[in-house]
Amino acid sequence: MREVAGHETSLRGTGADTARPRLPSGLIWRPRLVEAIDAGVRGTATVISAGAGWGKTALAASWSTARSPAGPIAWLTLNDAHNDPAVFWSDVIRAMATAGVVLPGNPPAAGDLGFQRWIGIGAASLSRTLVVVLDDVHKLVGPQVLDELGGFLRRAPARLRFVLSGRHATGLALHQLRVAGHLTEIGAVDLGFRVDEATELLTRLDRRMPVEQLAATVRQVEGWPVGLRLRLQVDGRSRPDRTAESYLVDEVLSGQPDAHQRFLLHTSVPDRICGALADALTGRQDGQRMLEQLARENVFVEPVGTGHWFRYHRTFRSALRHRLRVIEPDSAARLHQLTARWHAVAGDTLPAITHAAAAADWQLVAELVVRRGLPLFATADSADFVELLDRIPPERLSDSAEIAVCAALLAYHRGDLPGMARPLGVARAARAAVGPHPVEAIDAAVNLIESTTLVRWRGDMPRLLEMSTGLIDDIATVTEDLGGDLVRYRTLALANKAVAMLWMGRLDHADRYLWAASANARSAGLPLVAVSILGHLGLLAYFRGSVREAEEHATAAMDIARRIDTELRPGTASARLTRALIESERGRDIEAEEELRRALQISGEIPEAAIAVVAALVHARLLTDRGDLAGARTALRQAWAEARPGLVSPLLAGLTELAESEIDLAAGRPDAVVARYGDGRRLSPAEQVCLARACLADRRSAEAGTLLGLAGAGADRISAVRAWVLIALTADAQGHGGQAGEALQRALTLAEPERIRRPFQHLDGPKVLALAGRQQWLAEPRNAAGETVLAEITGELPVVPPAVLPLSERELEVLQYLPTMLTAGEIAENLTISVNTVKAHMRSIYRKLGAGRRREAVVAARQLGLL
């Protein structure tokens, strides 16, 4: 580099600002950003681009101050005059000269085509890399200067680097540099303050604040440096103030054309905006183009995701809304109404109701609730939905049928089921006053609410079946355009009908309707309904005797609930109770009690009547198994006392009789069971087993055998296992050891896939244990059916050593005889060896298999595949 005179005669400048700006007081040194520029100047260009107040100039100035000893850095602050190419290039040369860099030779006139070529040739001869910082690059809007600068960047010599800082650089063609990897871009996301940087700023301001509160403040201003500083300067607390908003109005909004200002004000009402919604709010036809332009120019507008939605910076949006209230006080409500109707048409129900409430248009709120909002009660948005309904002034709750429906929903949410009657009556009276009319959404809504809450919650299943069937028919005749919400209304009615059929004992029909309701709920976007329906499918599967299928449904239900964070909602109670029944059937009473406790907890103070009785049945079973027969009877009686007279459920009545029969048998009262079931009526498999137990207690073995044979051959796996255990015990008592063993093996084979344990534990447990011990002794080699159950019953599940010593050929021969009833002498005779040799081999086998006796050795050998 060298000084050369004579340039001034050919340069036409503006008295340009080529001095590096003074660093602001209290500047926070941000190493990560300085390092980003260091990395950027290894390439051709670095662009620092963000809106007002993001610290672009301060960053570039602090970097250039820190890095200037490493090489020359020229600084040029641009203004409107630099849209003249001659002025721009002349001032670039002046900035270089200010930095101590004078290019060799005499330059042509600044406007000549050869001027840029002269700069390029001169810069190529520099001994050290020169960085040119162009601040406020957004001031360049002239097509010619933008084209020339873009072309020069693409052909820039190796010794010349550029840092471009401004609110945007949209006019420059930088695509080739970006693709080639020669462009570094630093945006608002990078410039935003992080908590550690905010902590340093707080210290510089001599303020104190808990780190959690400071982090919340950083989130509130979205890292915006000026907004953060202004917030913290107020009094050290993160309270909102108008200072930052005034800054944005002055620095951002006021600098926009009038048409852009109106656009920004009118589109600030929704939290998110898209082109079509912007058109609806402004009456324009170019909303998408405007939003994309504002985002490109960093006017505190940014795209959301990969779609066509945008959002305004939180502080900017607040400033715009405040400005709108000041200059157009009547516009906000109108814009909220327009937004609500647009979202309703788009199928976005909750945002539609939210904006209607913001407009205080309570009739519109109610109409949206009736036409589209009821399914929100069965979604994860229910809390937000109820909060919106709660905004309706109490004195307005009887204004119309639609608003009365909202009042009924609020009463339901409070648990005030009797309080729902009055608003539903108001709604029905208002509809009756209209005179004869076709079915409309309001009529379907009133019926759906009444059937889902009052009727289903009371447990009047015949009435629920009647109402839901009629409602499904009525929904098919609704002519209003409800979009996808019509499907949701039908899904809710279908779910009610399926539940009614289940509790009425029409299991085959219930199965079909529950599956249909489950499929509809998933496709209609009602995951909570799907959770409830899957839970009821689990209960149905259990009542049919399939533990494994019940578990699959309950697991699917809880998986959905877990994904949408609704595990503690009442809709999961049916799945929880299914799990409790499964755990009980598998002999895991502690786990069953925990699932029961959770089901009761999430069901609330006023649970659904049918669910409350199922919970009582689970509780009574656990108490019966524990021997607390009085407590079991009390649990059943109390549940029905609280449910009556509303609960009408043949299935639950039958299950309660079955539970009472179990208690009677445990109390030694088989006569009560015979009186209950001995009237010749058709019995379920579970009832057949229960009556058979009573017959066995009365020594009526033939009758019991017939009943057990029927139950053992049925599809109800739980009852079949119980039946075969009883058959085994009966045969054993009669001295038929072979038949007993075969029957127990049948029970074990059926129980193993479902992991059923309870029958083996509670149907005369000591005798089952003794019989199981013999069965484990006599089981056929390689017959693994029921082996795990058998080992759990006997309590002998030996731990196989991690490294088992290999058995010799003779030991393997002896091992094959161990599962038999042959003595050591008889084994010796078969193998034609001495009895002492057989005993020696047996001791060696026990040692190598880690067994203490013959039976343990057999079990261990089977686990290792040696038998």
Render pLDDT for 69-98 as a digit per residue (tens, 0 to 9): 778 999 999 999 999 999 999 999 999 999
Secondary structure of residue 74 in the 3-state scheme: strand
Q: Is the pLDDT of residue 281 over 90?
A: yes
Residue 11 has pLDDT above 90, yes or no: no
pLDDT value of residue 54: 96
C-alpha angle with apex 89: 88 to 90, nearest 5 degrees?
A: 95
Helix (H) or strand (E) holding 598: helix 589-603
- The residue-averaged pLDDT of 396-414 equals 92
* Separation between Cα atoms, residue 568 and residue 562, nearest integer Å: 9
545 against 17, higher pLDDT: 545
Exposure string over 88-120, b if 16+ CB within 10 A, otherwise e: bbbbbbbbbbbbebbbeeebeebeeeebbebbe
Interval 563-589 mean pLDDT: 92
Residue 316 banded pLDDT, cuts 50, 70, 90: very high
User: What phi and psi values does residue 46 have, to the nearest 5 degrees?
Assistant: -125, 125
DSSP-derived letter for residue 369 is I
Q: How many contiguous H segments (helices) and E segments (strands) does the chain have?
A: 45, 8
408, with CB counted inside 10 A (0-12, 13-18, 19+), is buried
- Which stretch of DSSP H or E encloses residue 77? strand 73-77
In a 3-state reduction of DSSP, which class is residue 808?
A: coil
Q: What angle do CA 289, 291, 295 make, to 5 degrees?
A: 115
Give the C-alpha distances (Å, rounded to integers) separating 537 from 84, 371, 550, 651. Answer: 77, 29, 7, 15
Please compute the mean of the pLDDT values over residues 266-286 and round it to a whole number.
96
Q: How far apart are CA 820 and CA 801, in angstroms?
A: 24
How many CA within 13 A on the CB side of residue 638?
Answer: 12
474-492 pLDDT, tens digit each: 888 876 656 567 788 889 9
Report the distance separating Cα 608 and Cα 293, nearest Å. Answer: 55
Instruction: From 807, 785, 806, 788, select the one nearest 797 (Cα to Cα).
Output: 788
Instruction: Write the burial class of residue 278 (CB in 10 Å: 0-12 exposed, 13-18 middle, 19+ buried).
Output: buried
pLDDT of residue 70: 73
The Cα 558–Cα 572 span in angstroms is 7
Residue whose entry in the numeric block shows the structure tokens 């400033």: 319
Contact 445, 374 (CB under 8 A): yes
Please answer whether residues 771 and 744 qualify as being in contact, where contact means their C-beta atoms are separated by less than 8 angstroms.
yes
pLDDT over threshold 90, residue 633: yes
Q: Is the whole model's pTM more than 0.75, yes or no?
A: no
Q: What is the 3-state secondary structure (H, E, C) of 465-482?
A: HHHHHHHHHHHHHCCCCC
Return mean pLDDT, the chain. 88
Interatomic CA distance for residues 410 and 412, integer angstroms: 5
At 210, give phi and psi (nearest 5°).
-60, 145
Cα–Cα distance between 694 and 766 in angstroms, integer? 19
Tokens 């059926």 correspond to what residue?
750
Say if CB 104 and CB 125 are below 8 A apart. Answer: yes
Model confidence over 324-349: pLDDT tens digits? 999 999 999 999 999 999 999 988 99
Which stretches within 313-460 are classed as H helix? 314-327, 331-346, 349-358, 362-368, 382-389, 401-413, 421-433, 441-449, 456-458
DSSP string covering 502-543, please? HHTT-HHHHHHHHHHHHHHHHHTT-HHHHHHHHHHHHHHHHH
Model confidence pLDDT, tens digit, residues 456-478: 989 999 999 999 999 999 888 87
Phi, psi of 76 (to 5 degrees): -140, 120
How confident is residue 801, by pLDDT bands cut at 50, 70 and 90?
Answer: very low
Contact 748, 786 (CB under 8 A): yes
CA 854 to chain centre: 54
Q: Which of 424, 510, 426, 499 is nearest to 458 (CA)?
A: 499
Sign of the dihedral through C-alpha 538, 539, 540, 546: positive
Structure token digits, residue 128: 């050290």
Classify residue 833 as left (phi > 0), alpha (psi -120 to 50) or beta: beta
For residue 17, give the DSSP letter.
Answer: B
* CA distances (Å), origin 758, targets 580, 621, 719, 722, 802: 13, 11, 11, 9, 32
Q: Token pair for residue 285?
A: 């036809």
Q: Which of 49, 43, 297, 298 is nearest to 177 (CA)?
A: 43
* pLDDT over 50 at 236, yes or no: no
Q: What is the DSSP letter of 100?
A: T
DSSP symbol at 76: E
Distance (Å, whole) CA 265 – CA 282: 10
